[in-house]
Structure 1
Amino acid sequence: MGQETAEAEVTPFSYDSLTDRMRLLSKEPYQQPKPVEGFLADLDYDGYQMIRYRRDRSRWQEEAQIFRLQAFHLGWLFEEPVAIHEVVDGHVKPLGFSTTDFEYGEGITQKPPADTEMPGVAGFRLLSPLNRADRFDELIAFLGASYFRALGAGNVYGLSARGLAVNTGHSAAEEFPMFSEFWLEHPAPGSDAVVIYAALTSPSVTGAYRFVVQPGETTTMDVTARLFLRNDIAQLGIAPITSMFLFGDSDPDEMDDFREAVHDSEALILNTRAHETFYRPLNNPPRLSSSYLGAQDPASFGLVQRSRRFDDYLDAQAHYEKRPSLMVEPLGDWGAGSVRLVEIPSNLEGNDNIVAFWVPGGDMRAGRELEVMYRLHWGMSPPGDSHSQRGKVIRTRVGEGGVAGVEEKTGRRKFVVDFGGGLLRELPADAEVTPNVSAVNGTLTQVVLSRISGTETWRLVVEAESAAGAVVEIKAQLSGYGRDLTETWLYQWVRK
């Protein structure tokens, strides 16, 4: 049991047929998935951690195949069964799993009967020789709601993507759409890509998804999402990314921690079709915060981890320097909209407190249909995470305004932004470089730009003041010789 049943009747499958199915489903009342019962429902965190998929039971182990398929066990937080099918020559073949596919640790007191067919699984992962030709490393995992995450060469898991965000950070009730069913095309021998289809369901929307995954130094995923709105939606989030930011350069003194920084991502990036690059350092704010970056058909956006030295974090277990950056590249014209960044206060690094997604223009009314296409780039330095000709933000430091070492408090805030790289490295200290700085809801009291002696780094020092409780948006960029010399630094200061 648990293996494919050759005698079973096969059913034709295509992306268009899945699309038709999800369109029809959107016209029917939502049916809440039924959770598992018995042993599966009784599993707690400790018991769930003792269950492992048996590598010798991996699917797709034939010769000349560079992918392996494994399933995640049901139980603990994952109580709603997910169905997984295989597509071979355009037809669906059963792909079942049983308790024989898993190892159960000695600490589990009530083990399930051997060779018991599972009612579904929690999700799945694919393995591939990502870093070495002789070893299958984890490449991508789909687990929980519509969450998934992938790796480029040299990465360890960090941030996640989602199929869709519905009313995230909105006054309307948030929904967490679920990938309830998957179809995986059996890769041809020697194929360097795998195709995955998924059915997405929630009370307000259904969707038909297609993913084309290609592993590499930067792993790419071409995503097509066909969405059907069952109900009116206050805010639809396309290509959402979820990450964690506890503390970093701008607030190391806020946490009683030996490490230099703790985060899966350190900044939001937005590239426009006008060849502008906006860099927004992430914050762990005192209260829920939102930023909106308006754009017309963006070139790309994402959450990045630029600090790549061990000494940037000093964490020998988590290795935050190896967490992937993720850039979203729209395919086709996305029209007008905005990238929304939601930052949630957190005091634990286990909490994902950062969300970024695209909010398309127009009302999201019941009955509306949308198709969006985009490419996800996962890796150490994916395309779009910086501009080759412009200087980029090296670090951001924030502290008390005024003169250091003086006891008197000014009430002002000091922002120190270091720029480097690009054309800046070719300019002498007396070059005619102009800082362009502005603030909304605050007043600039000082702007000083200078090149740090003995380096190629240019330091911009900005001081600002505002009323208590104000949310101040600060913007800074360096220009000279008739062109932009750096990306644009954005910062949200929540005045306490």
Structure 2
Amino acid sequence: MPAGQAFSFDDLTDEMRAAAAAPAKPAETISGFLSEFTYDDYQRVHFLRERTRWADQQNAPFHLNAFHLGWLFNEPVHLNEVVDGLAYPMRFSTADFDYTNVKTDIPGDFEMPGVAGFRLMTPLNRADHYDELCAFLGASYFRVLARDTVYGLSARGLAVNTGMSDGEEFPRFTDFWIDRPAPGAASVTVHAALRSASVTGAYRFVLTPGETTTVDVTARLFMRETVQQLGIAPLTSMFLFGGADPGNFDDFRPAVHDSDHLILNTRGGETYVRPLVNPGRLGNSYLGAHDPASFGLVQRERDFDQYLDAQAHYERRPSLMVEPLGDWGEGSVRLLEIPSDLEGNDNIVACWVPAAQVRAGDSFELSYRLHWGLAPQGDRSSQRARILRTRVGKGGVAGVEGTTDRKKFVIDFEGGLLGELSPEAEIEPKVTVMRGTLAQAIVSPVAGTDLWRLVIEAVPQGDDSSMEIQAALNGYGRTLSETWLYQWVNT
């Protein structure tokens, strides 16, 4: 083993600060057999189980292995192991991988210039098996699992100019320093260097697995250039069809999505819920807030019968809530919905956008906690009835012929004080419609359940218009439900 080099988060911070003051360096590239991998070849490459790092250590709480370079992943990432404050390079070679049925010629014992990324494993679901916990792979993307979940949406280190006229920039985690976990440790710490044309950053991730897996993130950012927009704690997911947007897909499944709602919780106790859609044209929304309590993308439909997919198991995709640590000030939660016709496309983006423009020479530190799981903290209001589902259709009376320019929105509410009230309770819907006219809003209990249903009919202003609708249920001098938000677009 080569001599270790002293390492700390502050050392990494100083390095990234200095990097931002200098011109951006060109990205590393790969050559030879690494650049010849086809999609099929790459899918056949697997890390050898017996080469897993830390597996030879007694009572090791986490194991590590790496993703191979090639195909889409042609910029090397460098891994380092940190032991007692000293960093040692983690080297990988062709001896670490199984190339069975790979058609590309593979040299023996070839030392890699780096890897594409890495994954961590831990006994997440049972004590005698190391399940995958997280994967850092591609640009600044990473995905995390909690107990009884399968991979779904992703988080990113940073978003730069997403959907803006200057064109999106994709910062990359180029180097990682992973603390070797002590026997029995409940958490693992990962440091990362983020580099891009406009920004550099020093990141620290503390991952704690469980029924809800948490990731405590500290990001120290240094701006090399002024950018149009910086997206903090960006989340990337997929919504193809289902619920409020059944689409026009010839598919046996009733729904296909990794996430179905955007959530925003304010410090004042309000919970705003926005059903996701797969729009006919690019959808862009900003939810203004001061120092939000949390925001995220969630999967609220949790029954297999709601998807009928025995392979993808969308009912087990984790929700992800972002909890800011410290005051984030003025800004907005931005939601970007991109038209898509394939479930392999991640077409949903959510992030925090600071109100103040970020300029060259700026530097700042942000901390937040990511909650991954089937029901993570903040994915629903703790006091008020939650929005269970939304359905959208033609207005008017069902089963009766006729034409109408009304659109109907049906929202079901469940739980909270609302679920304890009698069917005769006096509940008042509070509904506002922008760029349209409210025709009616009727709320009533659903017999035989603890649900209350709000039916809204609204008329858009014109054939090419869109409507912004907001609704909540009030009664007895208080707000009894989460606040429903919806953007209807005439396609």
Would you say same fold, with TM above 0.5?
yes
Paired AA for residue 169 in structure 2: E
1:38-77 Cα deviation digits (max 9, x unpaired)? 1110101100000000111011120111100000000000
Unaligned runs of 5+ in 2: none
Q: 1: CA distance between counterparts of 2:473 and 2:242?
A: 24
Q: 2: CA distance between counterparts of 1:21 and 1:389?
A: 46
- Matching of residue 340 in structure 1 with residue 334 in structure 2: yes
Contact 2:334-2:350 at 8 Å conserved across structures: yes
Superposed counterparts of 1:461-472, under 5 Å: 461-466=455-460, 467-472=462-467
Q: 2: CA distance between counterparts of 1:356 and 1:483?
A: 30
25, 29, 35: which one pairs with 1:35? 29
Unaligned runs of 5+ in 1: 1-5
Q: Aligned residue for 2:419?
A: 425
Q: 1: CA distance between counterparts of 2:245 and 2:234?
A: 26
Q: 2: CA distance between counterparts of 1:297 and 1:261?
A: 34
Q: Aligned residue for 1:375?
A: 369
273, 296, 300: which one pairs with 1:306? 300
Paired AA for residue 474 in structure 2: S
Paired AA for residue 159 in structure 1: L
Contact 1:104-1:111 at 8 Å conserved across structures: no
1:258-298 Cα deviation digits (max 9, x unpaired)? 11100000000000000000010001001001111111100
Superposed counterparts of 1:162-311, under 5 Å: 162-252=156-246, 254-311=248-305
Superposed counterparts of 1:50-89, under 5 Å: 50-61=44-55, 62-89=57-84
292, 312, 318: which one pairs with 1:318? 312
Q: 2: CA distance between counterparts of 1:70 and 1:454?
A: 52
Q: 2: CA distance between counterparts of 1:439 and 1:254?
A: 27
Q: What stretches of structure 1 move > 6 A for 4+ residues in a row?
A: none
1:318-359 Cα deviation digits (max 9, x unpaired)? 000000000000000000100000000001000000000000
Q: Aligned residue for 1:416?
A: 410
- Matching of residue 109 in structure 1 with residue 103 in structure 2: yes
Q: Aligned residue for 1:131?
A: 125
State the number of aligned residues: 489
Q: 2: CA distance between counterparts of 1:24 and 1:388?
A: 45
Q: 2: CA distance between counterparts of 1:32 and 1:379?
A: 38
Deviates more, 1:31-40 or 1:312-321: 31-40
Q: 2: CA distance between counterparts of 1:210 and 1:324?
A: 22
Q: 2: CA distance between counterparts of 1:171 and 1:409?
A: 41
Q: Aligned residue for 2:17?
A: 23
* TM-score for both structures, normalised by structure 2: 0.98
- Matching of residue 475 in structure 1 with residue 457 in structure 2: no
Q: 2: CA distance between counterparts of 1:409 and 1:124?
A: 57
Q: 1: CA distance between counterparts of 2:432 and 2:293?
A: 24
Name the % identity. Answer: 62
Residue 253 of structure 1 deviates from its aligned partner by 5.2
Contact 2:433-2:469 at 8 Å conserved across structures: yes
Residue 401 of structure 1 deviates from its aligned partner by 0.9
- Matching of residue 405 in structure 1 with residue 416 in structure 2: no
- SS at 1:252's partner residue? coil
Paired AA for residue 175 in structure 1: E
Q: 1: CA distance between counterparts of 2:87 and 2:28?
A: 24
Q: 2: CA distance between counterparts of 1:172 and 1:413?
A: 37
Contact 2:36-2:104 at 8 Å conserved across structures: no
- SS at 2:124's partner residue? strand
Q: 1: CA distance between counterparts of 2:287 and 2:269?
A: 15
Contact 1:159-1:323 at 8 Å conserved across structures: yes
C-alpha RMSD of the superposition? 0.9
Q: Aligned residue for 1:331?
A: 325
Q: Aligned residue for 1:3?
A: none
Q: 2: CA distance between counterparts of 1:70 and 1:263?
A: 29
Residue 408 of structure 1 deviates from its aligned partner by 2.4
